[in-house]
Structure 1
Amino acid sequence: MAANTKEQGSKAEGSSAFDAYQTSLTTRYCSPAMSKLFSQRSRHSTWRRLWFHLAECEKELGINTITPEAIEQMKAHLVVTDDEFEIARIEEKIRRHDVMAHVHAFGVVAPAAAGIIHLGATSCFVTDNTELILMRDALDLIAKKLAKVISNLSSFAVKWKAEPTLAYTHLQAAQLITVGKRAAQWAQDLMLDLHTIEQVRSELKFRGAQGTTGTQASFLEIFQGDSAKCDELNVLLCKRFDFPGCYDVSTQTYTRKVDLIIANAVAGLGATAQKITGDLRHLATWKEIEEPHESSQIGSSAMAYKVNPMRSERVYSLARELMSKPASFANTLSDQWMERTLDDSAIRRIDIPEMFLLADAILLGLDNISSGLVVYPNRIAFRVQEELPFMITETIIMRMVAQGASRQETHEQIRVISNQAGSVVKNEGKPNDLVSRIQNNEFFKPIWGDIHGMLKADLYIGRSAEIVDKYCGPGGVVEKALAPYAAYIKGSSSAELSV
């Protein structure tokens, strides 16, 4: 039940959009398509579609009090107009019930149907089924956008599949990987999100026409005790709204467990997005990879030299909020006493749209970032060479042993001069001089001639390029998984961030 007042529901004389709070999600971050999907016109027009098809199906199943004229009038007014919203607003102020207010407004423009609109239904027939329709359509929207981001990262991974770069464990330099392999890991996490979202989408069902507590008692009365017609009604409704079937058991609502399942899938995207943009923020700090940066973009109002990763920071921030949503849905589910309590209503009006608006905004940001990443190979190579002397020490030990040296003695020699070289870097701020220490140490004379050959970074990337090709290359895992989205990906341009 909404709590509109005249002041809340319409603009005061002389006011503008800037005089009332507006959510940043719809005005700044998300796409027009997602914003429109969860608009009041979309929601309440879907209510009308549900009432129309309910009446149409009831008539088809033999309810003769529903006339052809009633059906035609309903069909002609499926989109709620501004004037009809005003009728509903006035009625709701009197009745304190949003569904009945819109039943009245629909009856005003479809008078032949006024007596049969909502026949046998409870409010959740329109509210719950509408939410399922909107969430299904929202899942379709984010799945396509997610596929586009995966495609971007996959192409990036293939382009840079052989570019050696420092890997990090514990955020300390570790054995080399490649720029492309790191991007392939990002893509794989997003692929897992896509799979989860697709699975949740494919398993989503309808509430259908279940009556006030899920027993269909009202419809059993309408159909004079014919249970088969109660089942057939839901079969017809599912066909009209393209659902595979209804949930087997309902209360007054479909179980709020469904909302939690969807939230867990969508919030998983938030965790992945935060991981990716966190990595990019570190890479930007090290000046190895940067997000797109426009020539006139200002990084700081005071520090004019700064190039901040503001797009990644935006996505990171939005992801934090998205990841909080499952807890809210879990609390709503756990508090649904018996067959339903209305304390699920207000919070779900906020949580469901916000969850999808956040996911949409995150994907717009990721699309923009991933389509224009800037790589600095010389900087990456410089940082590799800073650490590579330490990384070749295991190879040095193996080659010394092959020349007849003791493995343990060689290890001790390496340990001592490695610590000396590390001290020079940390305490004196000088370059890593481990190689020159090895070349000036008579113990290592048997492999002096091999040292420079060992300092080629691409010797230490293992199967990185092959791994990328198998996953992201032509005919690889990504290409096969994204086949259903190929036309969308090909036809869509990179997202532009408005501000």
Structure 2
Amino acid sequence: MPNDVYENPLISRYASRTMATLWGAQKKFSTWRRLWVALAEAEAELGLPITDAQIKELRAKVDDIDHDAAAAYEKKLRHDVMAHVHTYGDACPGAKGIIHLGATSNFVVDNADLIIVRESLELIASRLATVIDALGDFAEKYRDLPTLGFTHLQPAQPTTVGKRATLWCYDLALDLAEVEHRIASLKARSTKGTTGTQASFLELFEGDQAKCRELEKRVAAKMGFDASYAVTGQTYPRKIDAQVLDCLSGVAASAHKATTDLRILAMRKEIEEPFEQHQIGSSAMPYKRNPMRSERIGGIARFVMSLAQNGAATHATQWMERTLDDSANRRLSLPQAFLGVDAILVIYENVARGLVVYPEVVGKNLREELPFMITENVLMEAVKAGGDRQDLHEKIRQHSQEAGAVVKGQGGANDLLERLRGDADFAAVDLNEIADPSQLVGRAPQQVDEFLAEVVTPIRQRYADRQPPAEELRV
């Protein structure tokens, strides 16, 4: 493409070639031709005058598309489907008269889109499985490394680095279940006719209702679907697009959440995404290690999430049997949502497999907040040793306030434990044991083990032979 013409960065910078090819012209129009072949085959099987020679001729030219000729026809006819009917007919003169027999434009447009959406969802599912696998490995490695928990972005009860990773991973497992549901729910539009009434096919079969229904079943089966939508207008229900875009938006939201966490943790110098030997973090500040992969995921994710609105709005405005304002919108929203999520997951896998943890910093940050968090345990143990609960509570409150003043007012270290050690009322309390971080994370390590066994392992088993193509991070 010339350098003076805008390029979609989803293609030139971010998404995989595999996903880009699924939404490319060759895939689209060769799928149209496969649908025309399937239609001709089924019509011939049900007795219409279509010969084996004609079908053989059509099959031979399925992938041999003269895109320039089709573009010239479309410029003349202002109709993309008829442009390709004529182009296919020129390549198959013996079959020209039976191409698209009884069909409306959306026979090829919608059925092809359903096939491409299904294949795209299958690619997204396999990419989700690879990221889940990577995060599972990370969670297992750091299952018992205590770290400061956060609620309201304020210090909270400790958890472990591995347990936190399971939160990111479980979001994706829920997304995968939704993607798998969407794949299983997809059906064919098949041969519903111009407004969904199958009138043209009923005419072709001279009023034979059974043959009309059988044609629909056979064409759907040849497309790889075991059912077609119960009723349609001119298009398959645009509700389906809204559901698919919502599903993709969910994946984007999960990735955005996790990589926002990573950016905060990088700021705290606890965990970093991969940083290559010659990578430059800032053109002005040589020391910078900006989390550009996580930032890129967040940026693309916001774009994908915004596209979900298109599906709902388009569905809402499909008046009666159909309006055409869905066409231009769907050419943008569907492929770009898939390309965006594909890019997100390619980057996310790269991040997940290369995460760097700094245990000493994780421990230091935890220790700075830990004294305040164990005060209730200290109080209980001191009461067990014979102290008065109310008096002890007041002493701990005073010591905490004084330690907090040192931290906030002087920038000093949290010395609450030292203050308690110097107070005779707490002499019977083993502060070292109470302040052991590993004793404060509850069942976090065991929860990681259970999560891996019950959630991650079944996903690994399901996708063991469905690995996505390896992709190099291009930018």
TM-score, length basis structure 1: 0.93
Match of 2:185 among 174, 197, 203: 203
Contact 1:44–1:80 (CA under 8 A) maintained in structure 2: no
AA at the equivalent of 1:40: A
AA at the equivalent of 1:26: I
Aligned equivalent of 2:380: 398
Q: How many Å separate the matches in 2 of 1:306 and 1:370?
A: 21
Residue-by-residue CA offset, 1:92-139 (whole Å, 9 max, x unaligned): 111111110110000000001111111000000000111101000000
Cα deviation, residue 88, structure 1: 1.2
Q: How many Å separate the matches in 1 of 2:30 and 2:427?
A: 83
Aligned equivalent of 2:55: 71
Change (3 A) 1:333 1:80: farther
Aligned equivalent of 1:118: 100
Match of 2:450 among 446, 450, 470: 470
Q: How many Å separate the matches in 2 of 1:492 and 1:421?
A: 55
Aligned equivalent of 2:326: 344
Q: How many Å separate the matches in 2 of 1:329 and 1:192?
A: 21
Q: How many Å separate the matches in 1 of 2:465 and 2:184?
A: 20
Cα deviation, residue 91, structure 1: 1.2
Superposed, 1:191-340 pairs within 5 Å as: 191-340=173-322
Cα deviation, residue 167, structure 1: 0.4
Residue-by-residue CA offset, 1:200-239 (whole Å, 9 max, x unaligned): 1101000001110000000001011111111111111121
Contact 1:164–1:176 (CA under 8 A) maintained in structure 2: yes
Aligned positions, number: 475
Aligned equivalent of 2:458: 480
Match of 2:167 among 185, 190, 210: 185
Aligned equivalent of 1:127: 109
Q: How many Å separate the matches in 2 of 1:400 and 1:496?
A: 58
Q: Which runs of 4+ in 1 moved over 6 A?
A: none
Cα deviation, residue 457, structure 1: 0.9
AA at the equivalent of 2:132: I
Superposed, 1:25-64 pairs within 5 Å as: 25-64=10-49
AA at the equivalent of 2:51: T
Contact 1:41–1:80 (CA under 8 A) maintained in structure 2: no
Contact 1:125–1:208 (CA under 8 A) maintained in structure 2: yes
Unaligned runs of 5+ in 1: 1-15
Unaligned runs of 5+ in 2: none
- SS for the counterpart of 2:157 is strand
Q: How many Å separate the matches in 1 of 2:298 and 2:360?
A: 28
Q: How many Å separate the matches in 1 of 2:391 and 2:202?
A: 89
Match of 2:2 among 10, 17, 23: 17
- SS for the counterpart of 1:111 is coil
Cα deviation, residue 406, structure 1: 1.8
AA at the equivalent of 1:114: K
Q: CA RMSD in A?
A: 1.2
Cα deviation, residue 483, structure 1: 1.6
Contact 2:262–2:273 (CA under 8 A) maintained in structure 1: yes
* Percent of aligned pairs with the same amino acid: 48
Cα deviation, residue 21, structure 1: 1.3
Residue-by-residue CA offset, 1:346-383 (whole Å, 9 max, x unaligned): 01011110010001000001110001100100110111
AA at the equivalent of 2:4: D
Residue-by-residue CA offset, 1:252-300 (whole Å, 9 max, x unaligned): 1111001011111111001100100000000000000000110110000
Q: How many Å separate the matches in 2 of 1:382 and 1:461?
A: 16
Q: How many Å separate the matches in 1 of 2:91 and 2:469?
A: 40
- SS for the counterpart of 1:298 is coil
Contact 2:146–2:160 (CA under 8 A) maintained in structure 1: yes
Cα deviation, residue 394, structure 1: 1.0
Q: Note if 1:414 corresponds to 2:390.
A: no
Cα deviation, residue 444, structure 1: 2.3
Cα deviation, residue 454, structure 1: 2.1
- SS for the counterpart of 1:175 is strand
Cα deviation, residue 423, structure 1: 1.1
AA at the equivalent of 1:498: R
Aligned equivalent of 1:8: none
Cα deviation, residue 446, structure 1: 3.1
Q: How many Å separate the matches in 2 of 1:410 and 1:230?
A: 85
Match of 2:126 among 122, 144, 152: 144
Cα deviation, residue 80, structure 1: 4.2
Q: Note if 1:455 corresponds to 2:432.
A: no
- SS for the counterpart of 1:19 is coil
AA at the equivalent of 1:85: H
Q: How many Å separate the matches in 1 of 2:4 and 2:183?
A: 39
- SS for the counterpart of 1:287 is coil
Per mean C-alpha deviation after superposition, the further-off stretch among 231-240 and 288-297 is 231-240
